[in-house]
Amino acid sequence: MSAKRLLFGLMLFVMFVPAISMAQSKHRYKIGLIDLMLLKRQKLGAITLTKELGADGVEVDMGGLGNRPTFDNQLLVDSVRAQFLAKAKELNVEIFSLGMTGYYAQSFCSRDEYKQSIEDCIKTMKLMKVRTAFLPLGVQCDLVKNPERRDSVIARLKVAGKMAQKAGVVIGIETSLSATEEVKLLKDIGSKAIKIYFNFSNPLKEGRDLIAELKILGRKNICMIHATNKDSVWLQNDPQIDMQLVKKTLDEMKWKGWLVIERSRDATKPREVKYNFGANTAYLKGIFQE
């Protein structure tokens, strides 16, 4: 082989190897953590810890809500937001979602000023190029315990859906309803920008079939998944979840996206962050990114 042809071959090798490596690093399923559960709510350290624990990304919270008209959100401050984006880029950790967890305790279905909080979240999403937000309906808007609030929930989610669709983002809601009822709820809302942020623990604590619930909801209705159960044992030791079957089901559904670790902490050491989230991250990566 001539020296010129050898040099040309080496050039091709150098050009294509990075491309191959990059393609192999793009997994169908990504494993995410939550800054709130890492005890680092809207703190830069959550990004560093996510990298240390081997997860692919982190959901950053919008901050507390309380009696304020909107979230205590520092990410709208240009200098603060720039630090988060720079640290995420430096460590190759994706900020994949913004969490409106203030609505766990506050009432999305009855607060007068709910629009401002949604607007602020969507504005932050656009500035940070985050496509999905998490909105729990929480205790006061639990549609199983408070079915009379359904009309209010639907009306407000229609408004939020129009805002999100205009901005090109998605809001993932978590409810206590069965999958069948969630499909009906989404139909009544009628917005492609409102989807379900599915949580394994919801059907499991009510004795419903986790696999059946996933199939009923279907690929298009699920934007993200809280791939954990209640705090008791690590995922790998949880007799309620056959994770291989979950993966097989999601594969057959052709679903792809973020599997987010919320709980499934060892009940004997619930505040040992690295111990719990490190183990669950490693386990999910072993199953879904093999």
Q: Is residue 101 part of a domain?
A: yes
What CATH number did the domain enclosing 247 receive?
3.20.20.150
Q: Does 18 fall in a domain?
A: no
For 289, residues 6+ apart whose C-beta sits below 8 A from its C-beta are 27, 29, 31
Decide: 264 and 232 in contact? Cβ < 8 Å.
yes
Q: What is the pLDDT of residue 22?
A: 33
Q: Tell me if 13 is assigned to some domain.
A: no
pLDDT digit string (tens) for 121-177? 999 999 999 999 999 999 999 999 999 999 999 999 999 999 999 999 999 999 999
Domain ranges, residue 122 = 28-288
Q: 123 CB contacts (<8 Å, ≥6 apart)?
A: 76
State the Cα–Cα distance between residues 86 and 73, nearest whole angstrom: 18
Residue 23 lies in a domain: no
d(CA 144, CA 238): 26
Would you say residue 3 lies in a domain?
A: no
Instruction: Express each pLDDT in 179-236 by its tens digit.
Output: 999 999 999 999 999 999 999 999 999 999 999 999 999 999 999 999 999 999 999 9
**How many structural domains is the chain composed of?**
1
User: What is residue 25's predicted lDDT score, i.e. its pLDDT?
Assistant: 47
Q: What is the mean pLDDT of residues 20-30?
A: 61
Residue 21 in any domain: the answer is no
53-66 pLDDT, tens digit each:
999 999 999 999 99
With respect to residue 261, please indicate whether it lies within any of the assigned structural domains.
Answer: yes
Query: What share of the chain in percent tops pLDDT 70?
Result: 91
